[in-house]
Amino acid sequence: MTETEPRFRSDVTVELVKHNASDRDVLWAARVSTAGEQSLDELQKDPERSKGLINYLMRDRHGSPFEHNSMTFFVSAPIFVFREFHRHRVWSYNEESGRYRQLEPVFYVPGTDRNLVQEGRPGQYNFLPGTPEQHKLVTESMEQSYRQSYASYLEMLEAGVAREVARAVLPVGLFSSMYATCNSRALMHFLSLRTKNEDAAVPSFPQREIEMVAEKLEAAWAELMPLTHAAFVANGRVSP
């Protein structure tokens, strides 16, 4: 049944739904340079023994061996996160449609741990905790606005207006869902831009909500490709 009562979330969902990705995939792809078809023998070997090769490829930015793998994630996050996410063109995406289905009333409200106050200059903002009054204002304003826009959406649908027209009143805080597929090189590029990390040789200042998605993507990937992940971190979180 379609939901009509608004729900409010301050988290995001990331689930690894399908994968074909391991450190071995980097090794056999790299070794074709010197071993030709015998590089497939790498599939039987312990990748730990070739840790140094992965580190060398990462350090010297030989990126293509990191492309022979695939990870598909289910992501549910606010539309403003998807707008940023979809700028990453070397991923593949399929997203739910506001033309073909009635959009569910799930909306983003920042949690109490989300910093609210911005300082610094464009491109290098720092965010500081909000006061309890600011958090109360943000929560109440957002919830009120979301309820109002969703009520207008439903009113138009009930009057027979097409979903693709009525959806114009819905805000970017509405949750959407998608499948997103990438290889580890594309993921490293994404992580280098969408996380703020002290180990980064080139700092980035992403919006917190896409960083919440990025942190979950990184945790799932690190389990599949631990040596590649370790080399990425050790080499300043720069995509090869």
Ligand X SMILES: Cc1cc2nc3c(=O)[nH]c(=O)nc-3n(C[C@H](O)[C@H](O)[C@H](O)COP(=O)(O)OP(=O)(O)OC[C@H]3O[C@@H](n4cnc5c(N)ncnc54)[C@H](O)[C@@H]3O)c2cc1C
Are 146 and 173 contacting, i.e. CB atoms less than 8 angstroms apart? yes
Please tell me whether residue 171 binds ligand X under the rule CB under 6 A: no
Residues with Cβ within 8 Å of residue 41, at least 6 apart in sequence = 28, 35
Residues 180-199 touching ligand X, rule: CB under 6 A, are: 189, 193
Indicate which residue of 7, 9, 31, 194 is catalytic: 194
* From 88, 114, 147, 163, residue interacting with ligand X (rule: CB under 6 A): 88
Q: Kindly state the smallest distance separating residue 90's Cβ from ligand X, in Å.
A: 4
Binding of ligand X at residue 226 (CB under 6 A)?
Answer: no
Give CA–CA dist 38/189, Å, rounded: 30
Among 35, 90, 165, 219, binds ligand X (CB under 6 A): 90
| 194 known member of a binding site | yes
Using DSSP, state whether 191 is helix, strand or coil. helix
The answer to whether residue 61 is catalytic is no
- Binding piece for ligand X, criterion CB under 6 A, among 55-63, 84-92, 99-107, 128-136: 84-92
Cα distances (Å, whole numbers) of residue 77 to 25, 90, 168, 187: 30, 20, 18, 18
- Alpha carbon distance 225, 22 (integer Å): 5
**Could you write out the DSSP letters of every residue in 54-102?**
HHHHHHTT--GGGGS-EEEEEEEEEHHHHHHHTT-TTSEEEE--TTTSP
Rule CB under 6 A: choose which of 63, 110, 171, 206 binds ligand X: 206
Report if residue 87 touches ligand X, rule: CB under 6 A: yes
Residue least distant from ligand X (Cβ): 89
Smallest distance from ligand X to CB 221, Å: 16
Is 37 known to sit in a ligand binding site? no
The alpha carbons of the chain give a radius of gyration, in whole angstroms, of 21
Beta strand 106-108 with 7-9 is parallel
C-beta closer to ligand X: residue 92 or 112: 92
Residues that bind ligand X (CB under 6 A): 87-90, 189, 193, 204-206
Binding residues: 64, 84-89, 95-99, 167, 183-185, 189, 194
